[in-house]
Structure 1
Amino acid sequence: MATRCIDDTAGPLAGAVASDPAEIPLQSSDVRKDKRPWEIAWHHIVKIGLIHLGAIYGLFLLPSARAYTLLWAFFCYAVANCGVTAGAHRLWSHRSYKARLPLRVFLALAHSMAFQYDLYKWCQDHRNHHKYLDTDADPHNSKRGFFFTHVGWLLLRKHPDVKAKGKLLDMSDMKADPVVRIQRKFYLPSALLMCFVIPTLVPLLWDESLSNAFYICGFLRLAVGLHSIWAVNSFAHMWGTKPYDKHVTATENPLVAFFIGGEGWHNYHHAFPVDYSSSEFGWKANAAMAFIDIMAWLGLAYDLKKASPGVVRARAARTGDRSWKEGAQ
């Protein structure tokens, strides 16, 4: 399988956007002095609240569920996470590899199953996150605390800087992709179909009860998936080592990497955002990388970008916290 080596000359912004680096704010405003009144996003509070109420009820139903139902719920969890990690994140946000039409269609549907905005909006927020890390233009600015960066940013209306800077991003690649355009146009019906209807109907084939299927494979599976993704923004920006770049909040968090397909190797990702593997540990706690490699073997993914060992070594020596060890690859 052929990969293309990259360098880190563009720093943590590589592959995120193609904008003028002069636009990047050098300092984040002190959020403790931010006297703006909170603008609560009540529709998000209601939506997230209902999801968690359904998930709690699903927990009580677990003992009565059939084994096939639990396996199906885990399968849906894995597919949805793949839509976010291998799809929205590594393919569309960072262009770390290219995918042929059948794979892009699958990843778009899988992303709808994750119930996290449409692809265009997800990638716009994520490109903002990389370009304006930990400033007011970062949608989940970690300087505003653990709760905010985990879920609070969804419960409040976006800071004006997020909207203003987001409009300046080059999103032409997303607009040119028909899969992205169609998913955005039909996002709500596709999300309801992929997130709730299909996960609920399939277990009925082996005579599972409707309530078990709906609350376990729909709500409980979804809530676990949401918190797994949110953990990348919170846990992996709060606790862990920084072997590649000690100047950013992103850390190496193996536990997050295990639960969310390799996204917890986050300090590496912020140092080399166009590396499709998001890690130098191969398939270790990196299901998204394994998926992309298998798709490349099948001919559905190609032009996989990878940071060379020499570049990684030099970056760790120059900006890391000295926790990097030779021979990690």
Structure 2
Amino acid sequence: MTSFDSFRKSDFEKMKYNNDSVPEKFILSKRIGTDPNYKHEIVWKNAIGFLVLHLLAIWGFLIILTGGITFKTFLWILLTAFFSSEGVTIGAHRLFAHNTFTATPVLKFFLIVGQTMAGQNSVFIWSRDHRLHHRYADTDGDPHNSKRGFFFCHMGWLMMKKHPYVLGLGKRIDMSDLQADWMVMLQKKYYYYLYFVFAVFIPVFVPCYYFGETLRTSLLTCYLFRYVAQLNGTWLVNSAAHLYGTRPYDKKLQPVESWFVSFISLGEGWHNYHHAFPWDYKAAELSMHFNQSASFIRFFEKVGLASDLKSASPEMVKRRAMKTGDGTHYELGNDKDRNAVTAVGFLHPLNPSYNVVYSAPDAVLEDKGLPLYHENDVFDPNVVKRKTGAA
């Protein structure tokens, strides 16, 4: 690993995320993995802030458990949570970060509003970090490197200063498509104002004005509890879906298939498939199992709000699973590997400890990283097909 002693903090602070080449002195070693000797520096204001947020969210949760809100308010929490979660899942993730389909301006507008309500930073920053995550997955170039342990990849990475590789490699990520999107850049420019309106004011105001809730109760339940619960649901994709599950499509990739995470995150837990085929709008081979996001995208296509849905062909999926899978595929796998999967306690697909017994693969990449999509394949009709006829 390259030593970081010669990297000056001021140099990185001056570096803005754009499409310029990384200065020569920031070029990495030819092989990128996880340096066990590197120690992340804690950002205490972030750590304390997340602690306070979680304590207040627990207070809100206790209010809900003890019947301290009306049924209308409870439904409002579910509605805002669902709408904002799909803003992240369908919008920030499948549309903007991966370009898995094309959306009309109307659909883009509502997805951006939903993503703003979720409060996970702007679409531009979310997508940049996610593309970086895919290109340098589970290495020091990954913002939430799972090789650093569950807590780090779940939420600890947000409490620590970014690794120099994350800062340097972030400049390599092509963001020109989003820079050319006026809606995305407008949200980025006014994100904090929009966040207050859509994530705080509206969710809190409606129960106070229409359902008779007090400001404190509405703030604790409709904003703080909802916000923190959604954050942890998203974070499970970075943590549990990289650690506990199976790898039927590529056992060389750290991400796993997790029924539990897919159930929690509206379809984002089929993560081994997603990292193998990141351009697929389904983010999964099958779309009928805990993947409401894929169903909504198909609905949007039917009503003319979405088009050009991209999906890996069954032939390509089969070749990948047969060549690099771990043998646990529901159809192409074998009984020996399937039966080797273990779980603590009652064996059930939703058990979050449902896991393979072999050691996780080493994540050591070339400095160019992994492809965000297969440039030569994505336009090949034999490899990528529209939704029609796909699983």
State TM-score, norm by structure 2.
Answer: 0.75
Identify the residue that residue 306 of structure 1 maps to in structure 2.
Answer: 311
**In 2 relative to 1, CA 25–76 (structure 1 residues): closer, same or farther, beyond 3 Å?**
farther
Identify the residue that residue 232 of structure 1 maps to in structure 2.
Answer: 237
Q: Give, in whole Å, the separation in 1 of the partners of 2:264 and 2:62.
A: 23
Q: Secondary structure at the match of 2:60?
A: helix
The Cα shift of 1:284 comes to: 1.8
**In 2 relative to 1, CA 146–267 (structure 1 residues): closer, same or farther, beyond 3 Å?**
same
The Cα shift of 1:23 comes to: 8.5
Q: Give, in whole Å, the separation in 2 of the partners of 1:29 and 1:142.
A: 10
Identify the residue that residue 86 of structure 1 maps to in structure 2.
Answer: 90
The Cα shift of 1:235 comes to: 0.3
Q: Give, in whole Å, the separation in 2 of the partners of 1:189 and 1:51.
A: 20
Q: Secondary structure at the match of 2:34?
A: coil
Q: Secondary structure at the match of 2:83?
A: helix
Contact persistence 1:24–1:132 (CA under 8 A): no
1:190 matched to 2:197? The reply is: no
Q: Give, in whole Å, the separation in 1 of the partners of 2:179 and 2:45.
A: 27
Identify the residue that residue 40 of structure 1 maps to in structure 2.
Answer: 42
4+ runs deviating over 6 angstroms: none
In structure 2, runs of 5+ residues without a counterpart are: 1-18, 22-26, 334-390
- Greater displacement, 222-231 / 38-47: 38-47
The Cα shift of 1:262 comes to: 0.4
Identify the residue that residue 267 of structure 1 maps to in structure 2.
Answer: 272
Contact persistence 1:25–1:135 (CA under 8 A): no
Identify the residue that residue 74 of structure 2 maps to in structure 1.
Answer: 70
1:179 matched to 2:177? The reply is: no
Q: Secondary structure at the match of 1:216?
A: helix
**In 2 relative to 1, CA 317–23 (structure 1 residues): closer, same or farther, beyond 3 Å?**
farther
Q: Secondary structure at the match of 1:310?
A: helix
1:104 matched to 2:108? The reply is: yes
Q: Give, in whole Å, the separation in 2 of the partners of 1:265 and 1:67.
A: 33
Q: Secondary structure at the match of 1:318?
A: helix
Q: Give, in whole Å, the separation in 2 of the partners of 1:123 and 1:30.
A: 25
**In 2 relative to 1, CA 147–173 (structure 1 residues): closer, same or farther, beyond 3 Å?**
same
Deviations 1:195-224 (A, max 9, x none): 111111111202222222111110001111
Identify the residue that residue 206 of structure 1 maps to in structure 2.
Answer: 211
Q: Secondary structure at the match of 2:254?
A: coil
- Asked which structure has the greater RCO (Cα within 8 Å, sep 6+), the reply is 1
Contact persistence 2:154–2:238 (CA under 8 A): yes
- Greater displacement, 284-293 / 226-235: 284-293
Q: Secondary structure at the match of 2:269?
A: coil
Give 1:248's match in structure 2, choosing from 247, 253, 259.
253
Q: Secondary structure at the match of 1:237?
A: helix
Contact persistence 1:118–1:184 (CA under 8 A): yes
Q: Secondary structure at the match of 2:310?
A: strand
Higher-Rg structure is 2
Q: Give, in whole Å, the separation in 1 of the partners of 2:31 and 2:88.
A: 29
Q: Give, in whole Å, the separation in 2 of the partners of 1:228 and 1:92.
A: 20
Q: Give, in whole Å, the separation in 1 of the partners of 2:29 and 2:76.
A: 44
Identify the residue that residue 8 of structure 1 maps to in structure 2.
Answer: none
The Cα shift of 1:259 comes to: 0.9
Identify the residue that residue 363 of structure 2 maps to in structure 1.
Answer: none
The Cα shift of 1:123 comes to: 0.8
Q: Give, in whole Å, the separation in 2 of the partners of 1:248 and 1:200.
A: 42
Q: Give, in whole Å, the separation in 1 of the partners of 2:45 and 2:192.
A: 15
Identify the residue that residue 56 of structure 1 maps to in structure 2.
Answer: 58
1:117 matched to 2:159? The reply is: no
Q: Give, in whole Å, the separation in 1 of the partners of 2:79 and 2:30.
A: 42
Identify the residue that residue 156 of structure 2 maps to in structure 1.
Answer: 152
Identify the residue that residue 290 of structure 2 maps to in structure 1.
Answer: 285
Identify the residue that residue 5 of structure 1 maps to in structure 2.
Answer: none
Q: Give, in whole Å, the separation in 2 of the partners of 1:25 and 1:280.
A: 33
The Cα shift of 1:24 comes to: 9.6
Identify the residue that residue 135 of structure 1 maps to in structure 2.
Answer: 139
Identify the residue that residue 11 of structure 1 maps to in structure 2.
Answer: none
**In 2 relative to 1, CA 208–54 (structure 1 residues): closer, same or farther, beyond 3 Å?**
same
Contact persistence 2:34–2:147 (CA under 8 A): no
Identify the residue that residue 223 of structure 1 maps to in structure 2.
Answer: 228
Q: Give, in whole Å, the separation in 1 of the partners of 2:30 and 2:101.
A: 29
Q: Give, in whole Å, the separation in 1 of the partners of 2:193 and 2:48.
A: 19
**In 2 relative to 1, CA 130–24 (structure 1 residues): closer, same or farther, beyond 3 Å?**
farther
Identify the residue that residue 126 of structure 1 maps to in structure 2.
Answer: 130
Tell me the number of residue pairs that the alignment of Structure 1 and Structure 2 aligns: 307
**In 2 relative to 1, CA 28–51 (structure 1 residues): closer, same or farther, beyond 3 Å?**
same
Identify the residue that residue 258 of structure 1 maps to in structure 2.
Answer: 263
Across the aligned residues of Structure 1 and Structure 2, the Cα RMSD in angstroms comes to 1.9
Q: Secondary structure at the match of 2:281?
A: coil
Q: Give, in whole Å, the separation in 2 of the partners of 1:308 and 1:106.
A: 30
| Percent of pairs with identical residues | 42
Q: Give, in whole Å, the separation in 1 of the partners of 2:281 and 2:30.
A: 27
Q: Letter of the 1:60 partner, please give it.
A: L
State TM-score, norm by structure 1.
Answer: 0.89
The Cα shift of 1:44 comes to: 2.2
Contact persistence 1:112–1:195 (CA under 8 A): yes
The Cα shift of 1:122 comes to: 0.8
